[in-house]
Chains A and B, each alone.
Chain A
Amino acid sequence: MESFFLKATAVLYLIATAAFILYLLVPRKSTARGSLLVLSSGYLLHTLAVVVFSTREGFPAVAQTREALSVYSWLLVGVYLLAQIKYRLTALGAVIGPLAFLMCFSAFAFGSAGGELPPALKTYWLPVHVTFAFLGNAVFALAFGVSLIYLFQDYQLKHKRVPAVTLLFPSLETLDRLNYTFLVWGFPLMTLGILTGTLWAGMGWGSGWSWDPRLIFSALTWLLYGGLIHGRLTAGLKGRKAALLTVVGFVVVLGYFLWGDTVFPTRHAGRFE
């Protein structure tokens, strides 16, 4: 059943993506409202899918890659809709929409479904750890979105071009400020995710840290984002360079999230040996 909900969600996210692109081409109130409406409907359905699965399994639906991708994109869309209420970033939907769709789609295409959860993972640590880690990354996805728009806008301005679509985007100053806002929100969440994971591992695996590829990647991205915030505050790491680093950092995280487990099989991934 949740598989049907998830498929329907993916379809709605795809329609929302098309609607956001239409909004960029035909910027009207109606196209803006329409695309947000489709995305929100997809989100409601998605919520249903997540809830149905979690109640049936008796634990949060995050253990397997398929569910993990689904929950991550669910958090991503939720965070975006919240940010939309506060900052009115309809144009950002053109980045978030396709991301959400890609993840829902990947959940089917690449993710292994179902499977019994090993008893070791059936603790409350799992939802806490995963929620923080995913939420942090969802907020970073917003930072990625505004940075992508920043780089586009910056490129156009440098090359003396002003296509109509740039009118829909906030100014560089606003985009840069949002980049900082999202980093500052995402970083503590990510830190909490890593901390809870370390504590849990310390109890479950006997040692808080192991040279697990996923842990190494997490540490690296944590350092990258931390360095970015530090650079912003002290060294004038602003504008284009900050946007570029944010984009690179997120692409690495996303890449690892999607394909890391295939390239570096580990007990941390959706397989439990």
Chain B
Amino acid sequence: MREKSLMIVGLNHATAPVELREKLAFEPAELAGAARRLRAQAAVDEAAIVSTCNRVEVVAVARDTEAALDGLKRFLLGERRSSAPARADGCLYAHVGAEAVRHLFRVAASLDSLVVGEPQILGQLKDSYVAAREAGAVGAVLHRLFHRSFAVAKRVRTETGIGSGTVSVSSIAVGLARRIFDRLDDKTVLLIGSGKMGELLVRYMQRSGARSLMVTNRTFESAVRLADEFRGNPVRFEDFPRYLKLADLVVGCTAAPQVILRAELVADALRERKQQAMFFIDLGVPRNFDARINELDNAYLYNIDDLKAVAQENLQEREQEAVKAEALVREEVASFLRWLDSLEQVPVIVALREKFEEIRRRELDKSLGSSLKGVREEERQAIEDMTAAIINKILHAPITRLKQQGEEAEEGLYADALKKLFGLEPKHKPFP
């Protein structure tokens, strides 16, 4: 019915493996050029490319839907230097019209992300839009579509808790540390062991402000190496109990088969540091720290399973919030479609008015030339006004109805009926 339609063709983390996504992805610097090439396709009026490590998509406004979809698919698969594997075609999805709008809004709101609620996608979408605009590939529809999608993302973020709670082990540990400690920059971290996760966590802590670090390990050399890497102080393994009282955060990540830190030792340390709180993070499997540490006042012990449980909880919370977000997206899609429809109604309204005006003019001229010949100027003016008023009165109801039509179920029904009943041929392009 619409002579032009909105469409999205692409693949994402759910439909395509990472190797394929990598092959098809665009570098940020390539985005503008690719959008320009797309725009050059005969059927395509507007185009933008969204490319992240989790998705490669083409958003377009085109006239001949079928031909354009075909062109977009060929563009996605053929554009890349490395020839895409044959099965790539099966990984592609295509959304047209309302579905396309919904898809982009969901992507912007991070509902379609691998980690639902992650915030990066909005920035990536903005980059895509800017690149396409610079390439001159964005028209009124995509302009509005993208701006609405940014607004939707913002609404979802502020009106639902979808971005709340972190889901990585390191960020959860640091989040917990912030519940215990006011600030991290005056705290000391003690890292025991050289496991990968421990390193990751300590790096995250340092980025979160922690400055003072002690590192210990059974082999002193690797403690020295790690301490160098993190600009911390190496401590001999047999000495670390003596330094324990200095540590506010203690990270354990060794492959030791037995517990290396007993609760008694921690109780002593707490006494010596006058009950200043201590946070123990046990990343070791099997456990590095005595579970009874958690029973001591002002000592908090979390092991890797505890942290993962919190992550799981946060994920579930996000999923619940996502339901609210979906409702919000539906609302926004409906509102966008109304705008799109109102664009389309305009030509019908203009044609209808022109048709009626033409009839009025013709009949009026005819009468003024014969039966009404010789009326005075003011009488002629009165007749003009009256006929114009009649037409306005007749057209008032149908035009009002047409303008509201986007909100009704029978989309485009009236416009079609009017075109047929009055033999309207819009002179304007139906889609600006």
Complex Cα distance A158/B298, Å? Answer: 9
A153 at the B interface (CB under 8 A)? yes
Asked whether A240 and B182 contact (CB < 8 A) given A164-B161, A164-B164, A172-B277, the answer is no
B298 touching A238, Cβ below 8 Å:
yes
For window 151-208 of A, CB contacts with B under 8 Å fall at 153, 157-158, 160, 162, 164, 166, 170-174, 176-177
Which of A164, A172, A177 contacts B179, CB < 8 Å? A172
Assuming the contacts A236-B275, A237-B275, asked whether A162 and B179 have C-beta atoms less than 8 A apart, the reply is yes
Cross-chain contact B302 with A160 (CB below 8 angstroms): yes
A158 to B179, CA, bound (A): 12
B176 to chain A, nearest CB (A): 7
Partner of A157, one of B164, B180, B271, B313: B180
Q: Name B182's contact: one of A170, A235, A238, A241 (CB within 8 Å).
A: A170
Does chain B have a CB within 8 A of A239?
yes
B180 touches A238 (CB 8 A): no
For A176, what are the chain B residues with a Cβ–Cβ distance below 8 Å? 277
B180, A160: Cβ atoms closer than 8 Å: no
> Least Cβ distance of B182 to chain A in Å?
4
Shortest distance from the beta carbon of A221 to any chain B beta carbon, whole Å: 23
Given known A-B contacts A236-B275, A238-B276, A239-B275, A162 and B298 have beta carbons under 8 A apart? no
Instruction: For B300, give its contact among A157, A166, A173, A241 (CB under 8 Å).
Output: A157
Set of chain A residues within 8 Å of B285, measured between Cβ atoms: none
Are A158 and B276 in contact, CB atoms less than 8 angstroms apart? no
**B294 close to chain A: CB less than 8 A:** yes
With A239-B275, A239-B277 as known contacts, state yes or no: A172 contacts B297, CB within 8 Å.
Answer: no
Q: Which residue of B lies closest to A166 (CB)?
A: B179
From B165, B271, B277, B306, A160 is in contact (CB under 8 Å) with B306
Q: A238-B275, A239-B277 are in contact. Are A158 and B300 (CB under 8 A)?
A: yes
Q: Count the A residues whose beta carbon is within 8 Å of the partner chain — how many?
A: 21
State how many angstroms separate the Cβ of A111 from the closest Cβ of chain B. Answer: 40
Contact of B275 with A173 in the complex, beta carbons under 8 Å? no
Question: How close is A154's CB to chain B, nearest CB, in angstroms?
Answer: 8
Known: A164-B161, A171-B178, A171-B180. A236 touches B271 (CB 8 A): yes
B181 within 8 A of A: yes
Cα distance A58–B341 when bound, in Å?
Answer: 75
A239 and B178 contact, CB distance less than 8 A = no
Q: How far is the CA of A164 from the CA of B182 in the complex (A)?
A: 18
Residue in contact with B310 in the complex, picked from A160, A237, A238, CB distance below 8 Å: A160
A interface footprint on B164-203 (CB within 8 Å = 1, 0 otherwise): 1100000000011011111000000000000000000000
* Cβ A173 vs Cβ B277 within 8 A: yes
CA distance A174 to B179 in the complex (A): 10
Chain B residues with CB under 8 Å of A237's CB are 275
Cβ B176 vs Cβ A162 within 8 A: yes
A170 contacts which chain B residues (CB < 8 A)? 182
Q: Does B417 contact A (CB under 8 A)?
A: no
Q: Name the residue of chain A whose CB is nearest to the CB of B159.
A: A28
A221 to B138, CA, bound (A): 74
B420 part of interface (Cβ distance < 8 Å):
no
B289 to chain A, nearest CB (A): 14
**A173–B180 touching, CB < 8 Å:** yes
**Contact of A238 (CB < 8 Å), options: B176, B178, B274:** B274
B309 within 8 A of A: yes
Quick one: CB contact mask for B278-305 with A, threshold 8 Å, 1 for yes?
0000000000000000100110101000
| B263 to A: closest C-beta gap in Å | 14
> Is A239 in contact with B300, judged by CB distance below 8 angstroms?
no
A160 partner residues in chain B, CB cutoff 8 A: 302, 306, 309-310
Cβ of B182: which chain A residues have Cβ within 8 Å of it?
170-171, 173-174, 177
**CB-nearest residue of chain B to A171:** B182
B300 / chain A contacts, CB cutoff of 8 Å: 157-158
Bound complex: CA of A235 vs CA of B179, how far in Å?
Answer: 24
| Neighbouring A residues of B179 by C-beta, 8 Å | 153, 157, 162, 166, 171-172
In the bound complex, CA of A172 to CA of B182 (Å): 7
A38 and B86 CA atoms in complex are apart in Å by: 67
Residues of chain A with a CB closer than 8 A to B298's CB: 238-240
Closest to B303 in A: A160
- Chain B residue at minimal CB-CB distance from A172: B180
Who on chain B is nearest to A169 by CB? B179
Q: Name the distance in Å between A26's Cβ and chain B's nearest Cβ.
A: 10
In the complex, per-residue mask of B314-356: 1 if CB is within 8 Å of any chain A CB, else 0: 0001000000000000000000000000000000000000000
A157 to B317 alpha-carbon distance, docked (Å): 18
Closest Cβ neighbor of A157 among chain B residues: B300
A255 to B342 CA separation, bound complex (whole angstroms): 68
Q: How far is the CA of A174 from the CA of B309 in the complex (A)?
A: 26
The interface of chain A, by Cβ under 8 A from chain B, is 153, 157-158, 160, 162, 164, 166, 170-174, 176-177, 235-241
Q: List 8 A-B contacts (CB under 8 A).
A: A158-B300, A160-B306, A164-B165, A170-B182, A171-B180, A173-B181, A239-B275, A239-B277
Going nearest first, the 6 A-B pairs with the smallest beta carbon separation are A236-B274, A238-B275, A239-B298, A236-B275, A173-B182, A160-B306
